[in-house]
Amino acid sequence: MLATMEVIPAIDIRGGRCVRLDQGDYARETVFSDDPVGVAKRWQDEGATTLHVVDLDGARAGHPLNADVIRRVLAVASVRVQVGGGIRDLAAIQHYLDDGADRIVMGTAAVKDQTTLINAITLFRDRIIVGVDARDGLVATEGWLETSEVPATDLMRRLSELGVSRVIYTDITRDGLLAGPNFQAIAAAVAEASSLPSPVAVIAAGGVGSIEHLRQLAGLGVEGVIVGKALYTGAVDLREALAAVS
């Protein structure tokens, strides 16, 4: 019997619209909706218990640029919402939490500015999630535009030591392609995260293209999986997906 795994629809916002990027490439964008608020309503109406909202412009610029749109999403959401993209200081975290976000996803700041991360964990604790975005096993930063020299598993170990309780592990090379997640890398991430003195929960992202992919991820022990393009293209039906892994 598979462990229960949360299926989390992604709402990626660029220029105020709901889009998806292939492999994190800003030049390979598909626009799925001009109404992110309507998309949020749709996913929660279909049974989602958490939404994953990302300011893609903010991730690239290093500070929030679609905060007004995200604020409108938060205003209509009756489910948990985790927000990421360009959130690199305590003020931005506090603004989104005040607007109704349940969790904040930090990425680049966790790699480049651990003082901010430590302060965020001290102040907000389990409401902070760190995005571990990997390309060929190395952590990518700056909205996936740069690849660091930090191995993803090393970062997860360090994050655990700092008090992080949850990460989102994304394999960038699979993201948006629907060809399947990097199961081997995700399994290694889960094994690393669960073996730490302070275990870390793993949410997987990148590459889901079928309900069978979701079943396989559930078997690896991830807490949840973020699904984007597969939902927007109809390759995965959210209601069927939720039934398959619950």
Whether the CB-CB separation of 209 and 175 falls below 8 Å is answered with no
Amino acid (one-letter) located at 75:
A
- Structure token pair of residue 156: 């997860």
Q: What is the four-CA torsion angle of 165, 170, 171, 177, rounded to 10 degrees?
A: 160
Catalytic residue among 55, 57, 133, 175: 133
Q: Please say if 133 is a catalytic residue.
A: yes
Q: Which of 14, 116, 23 is nearest to 59 (CA)?
A: 14
Euclidean distance between CA atoms 128 and 158, whole angstroms: 15
Which helix (H) or strand (E) covers residue 121, if one does?
helix 114-124
Other Cβ atoms within 10 Å of 153 Cβ, number: 18
Please tell me which residue in 12, 55, 57, 175 is annotated as part of the active site.
Answer: 12
Is 172 within 8 Å of 134 (Cβ atoms)? yes
Beta pairing partners, 30: 20
Residue whose C-alpha is closest to residue 99's, from 66, 129, 131, 60 = 66
Pairwise CA distance, residues 139 & 32, whole Å: 28
The residues assigned a catalytic role are: 12, 133
